[in-house]
Every structure is written in structure tokens, then in C-alpha cells.
Amino acid sequence: MKKFEILLLEQASEISSEKVLNPEGFTAWTSPSNIAIVKYWGKRPGQIPANASLSLTLSKARTETSVTYTYDKSIKEPQLTFKFEGKTQDQFEKRIKKYLLEIRELLPWLNHTKLSIDSSNNFPHSSGIASSASAMSALALTLCDIEERMYGRKTAKDFMKKASFLARLGSGSASRSVYGNMAEWGMTSCRRESSDEFAIPVTGIHEDLLMLRDSILIIEAGKKKVSSSFGHDLMKSNPYAKLRFEAAEENMQRLCSVITGGDTGHFIDIMENEALSLHAMMMTSTPGFLLMKPNSLKAIEMIREYRRESGSQLGFTLDAGANVHVIYTKKSESKVKKFIESELKPLCENGLVIHDEMGGGPERMSEV
Ligand code: DP6
């Protein structure tokens, strides 16, 4: 067992013997999605990443989750009602129930608590924006908050670490959404505090790499064709997996100095290399997946050509899907936005482009 998990289990056993001070209450958090620059693709048992990853926390694409809780000693396992955008959603409810059962050893009060959860995204489900990162981080934050309210405890120092740990168990990339600007998850030799158990905030970011913009070209609206868990699983038999994990670590190390030094060109090179490597992994898995669409490739070529011609600081990245994230600096914003509107927008389904940017991370919506 890992170090922080042991600490959390000790904390859990201590808390079980404490008196519940506030058996009823309410909390609400909003938490953002994130876009990975170095990709997490492949994992080991216990939701341990095969390589470290680093992401930009978005500002606008968020999930808001509010939870009303009631502690009742006579209940013996977590009880839940779940509404997504005001409607009951059986599939999500089942996933959350399974998650609560998995984490109840760490939060033993869950066994005696009724939770009424309301969750909504401020971005369309079909937009291809990763909703598991924002949703699972928002949920983890509300759970940590409920624990503090219930027991009148303050674990302030470890609050975010614990939220990131719990978010990770729900969805790996969610561990990174707990922090603003940039976050890193997974052991990497370039950061001493890094951990496979939780994400850490990236500090010392050069001002040129702060406030990066992310305009998401919706090349294909609709559901992802490959679920992340299936995709991670494919890496177990991918013949290039070992090389990929080593390359990701090299990219993490390069990024470390690039982020503090502010070498935007190098940052863009690494980001694009990572996106193409992720898709190469999908193409070389069995079965193999071609997730880019002709318009994704067109967009990539046009972004590169425009960069060569204009000298603007922009590049692309993709998740496990066809949509293209155009990442650019605040300095190049006005020119790049014009280029996106006139040249790239026509490549998008119904001309949909979602303009987002780096943001400050989750926020508590309820009173303390
Ligand atoms: C391509 O975090 O969605 O977006 O841990 O199984 O929930 P699970 O996977 P998930 O995988 C994200 C994959 C990715 C890359 C990334 O965000 O790092």
C-alpha cells in the first residue's frame, strides 16, 4: 500500500470513533475539466498511472455538484439519489454508487449517510470535453467538505491532496482538476513531491505560459468511440507501450525546465508530440482505432502552416477523440482567434468552437 493511502486509512479509523457534530448539511462545488499536455494513457492496478502526466486546468468547462447529506447510524451502506441536469440518470447513479462503495473504507461515515446529489455541466455532453475529470473532482471535493462539516474537523493542509486522491480513484485525469493553472499527476524524476497517488500543482510557471488559451474545435460532436478505461487497457498488449511510457517521462522532464523558462516553442513541440503519440498508441493497439477524422488532420496541417507563416505561438493537442484543442498564448490571442474564426471554424460540426482558457481551479459554491 502507498504512503498517503495508509495515512488516509489511519485518519479514517480515528474519525470513526469521533462524534458527529453536524448530522445534516449541504455543500456545493464547481470543478473544471482539464486538457492533458503530457498524456496519461495506460495504468496499473489500483488506478496507478503507467506514466506521469501534466495538464492545463480549464476555466469555463465545469461541473457543478451540490450534495445534501444526512447521517443516520441505522443505515449500513451509502445511500444515494443522483440527478444530472435535474433528471435522474441511472447509468451515472450506478457508477457513483460503485465509486462510493469503493472509497468507503477511506470515508467510513459514507456507510451511514444518505446523499442527494445534483450535478450539471456547463458544456454540452456531446462536445467531447472530458466530463469525468470535472465531475469526479467536483464530487471528491464535496465528499471531503462533507467530512469536515460533519465532524467539525479541519484538515486544511491535506484537503486538496485528499480530494485529488479520491478524485483519482473515480477517474485518473480528475486528480489533476483539483488544482488551477497546471497540475501534474504521477511519479516523475523531475519533481520530488510528485506522486502516483494524487496530483500536485505545478509551480513556477513562466508568465508567457500562464493564461494559455484553449479553443476546442468540435470536429465531431457526440459520444467518444473508445471509452478511456478500454483505451487504457489496450496499452497492456500494445507492443510499443514500454517505449511510450519512457518517452512520456522524457517529455515530463523536458517540460519541467520549459515551463519555468517559458520556452513556448518547445512547449508546443512537446504538446504536439504527445498528442500524436497518444493517437499512434491507439492506431497500433489491437484492435486499432483511428480516432482522427479528415477534418482533424486538415486542422492540424492548417495550424502548423499558419504557425510557420505568422510566427504566432499556437499548437494543437487532442484527447482520445477527433476534436482538436488549439492552444495559444495570451499575446497571440487576437490574431489566432481571427484565424480560428475564418479558417478553422468551417471544419467544425455546425461550426462549433468552444473558447476556453487556463483557469484557477475548483471553487466552493456553498457557505463555509
Ligand atoms: C486521453 O482519466 O478518462 O484524456 O482513469 O479510466 O477514468 P480513467 O481515464 P481518464 O483518461 C484520460 C485519458 C486522456 C489523457 C489525459 O487526460 O491525461
Atom of ligand 1 nearest to the CA of 40: 18
- What confidence category does residue 59 fall into, taking pLDDT thresholds of 50, 70 and 90? very high
Confidence check: pLDDT of 65 > 80? yes
Q: Give me the pLDDT at residue 1, please.
A: 65
CB-based contact 183:202 (threshold 8 Å): yes
- What confidence category does residue 244 fall into, taking pLDDT thresholds of 50, 70 and 90? very high
Q: Give me the pLDDT at residue 114, please.
A: 98
Q: How far is the CA of 172 from the centre of ligand 1 (A)?
A: 6
Confidence check: pLDDT of 21 > 80? yes
CB-based contact 135:121 (threshold 8 Å): yes
With 0-12 / 13-18 / 19 or more C-beta atoms within 10 angstroms meaning exposed / middle / buried, residue 320 is buried
Q: Is 173 in the pocket of ligand 1 (CB under 6 A)?
A: yes
Query: SS3 for 33?
Result: strand
Confidence check: pLDDT of 225 > 80? no
Q: Give me the pLDDT at residue 126, please.
A: 67
- What confidence category does residue 278 fall into, taking pLDDT thresholds of 50, 70 and 90? very high
Q: What's the alpha-carbon Rg for the chain, to the nearest Å?
A: 21
For residue 104, which of 77, 70, 82 has the smallest C-alpha distance?
77
Q: Give me the pLDDT at residue 368, please.
A: 75
Q: Is 232 in the pocket of ligand 1 (CB under 6 A)?
A: yes
For residue 360, which of 100, 31, 68 has the smallest C-alpha distance?
31
Confidence check: pLDDT of 128 > 80? no
Q: Give me the pLDDT at residue 129, please.
A: 76
- What confidence category does residue 224 fall into, taking pLDDT thresholds of 50, 70 and 90? low
Q: What is the pTM of this model?
A: 0.97
CB-based contact 70:27 (threshold 8 Å): no
What average pLDDT score do residues 216-243 get?
A: 91
Q: Give me the pLDDT at residue 35, please.
A: 97
pLDDT tens across 295-317, in order?
999 999 999 999 999 999 999 99
**Interatomic CA distance for residues 80 and 89, integer angstroms:** 12
Atom of ligand 1 nearest to the CA of 278: 1
Cell of 146: 462533507
Do β-strands 87-88 and 79-84 pair in parallel, antiparallel, or remain unpaired?
Answer: antiparallel
- What confidence category does residue 131 fall into, taking pLDDT thresholds of 50, 70 and 90? confident
**Interatomic CA distance for residues 360 and 177, integer angstroms:** 10
Q: Is 291 in the pocket of ligand 1 (CB under 6 A)?
A: no
Q: Is 185 in the pocket of ligand 1 (CB under 6 A)?
A: no
Q: Give me the pLDDT at residue 160, please.
A: 96
pLDDT tens across 172-198, in order?
999 999 999 999 999 999 999 999 999
Confidence check: pLDDT of 2 > 90? no
Nearest CA to ligand 1 atom 4: 319
Q: To the nearest whole percent, how much of the chain has pLDDT over 90?
A: 90
Q: How far is the CA of 227 from the centre of ligand 1 (A)?
A: 9
Q: Is 228 in the pocket of ligand 1 (CB under 6 A)?
A: yes
Q: Is 171 in the pocket of ligand 1 (CB under 6 A)?
A: yes
Q: Give me the pLDDT at residue 82, please.
A: 96
CB-based contact 113:69 (threshold 8 Å): yes
Q: Give me the pLDDT at residue 154, please.
A: 76
Q: Which residues of 71-90 are buried (b: 16+ CB within 10 A; e: fewer)?
A: beeeeeebbbebbbeeeeee
Q: Whole-number mean pLDDT of the chain?
A: 95
Q: Give me the pLDDT at residue 153, please.
A: 78
Helices (H), the chain: 3-16, 90-103, 131-151, 156-170, 228-234, 241-261, 264-283, 294-310, 333-339
